[in-house]
Amino acid sequence: MSSRVLIVEDDPVLALMLEEYLELLGHEPVGSADCVASALAILSDRKIDAAIIDIVLADGETSDPVADALAAANIPFLVATGGFIEPPAPVYARCPVLMKPYTIKGLNAALAALPGPQSQKIASGG
């Protein structure tokens, strides 16, 4: 069984690319959200094993509430970013980072670096 991964990314082209990369790596994208409200709705509606979140979304919105919800649910996540303008919130401290521009090799490495028991499942694609 593949890992179910939520994508929080406001750029639709990058979100689609991440979905394709996840599928090529044997994972199942369970949804793509471009804002906090959509991401939280997916979290409350679907079972996920991990998430990829961009910290800064459209209109200056940050993914901090999503990161907090993931941490509270003990769901590992990685940060997808083009770089940090300000230091990220403490909830991101132990998260692997996937730097833009995304590559499939970089995504695979970041997924394998996720903390906790899900990392073995995610790294193996099962």
Residue 48 has pLDDT above 70, yes or no: yes
* Max avg pLDDT among 1-10, 65-74, 83-92: 65-74
Query: Which domains are present in the chain?
Result: 4-124 (3.40.50.2300)
Contact predicate 98/52, CB 8 Å: yes
**Alpha helices (runs of H) in the chain, residue ranges in sequence order:** 12-24, 36-45, 64-72, 104-112, 118-124
pLDDT of residue 118: 47
Q: What is the pTM of this model?
A: 0.88
The region of weakest confidence among 10-14, 53-57, 80-84, 121-125 is: 121-125
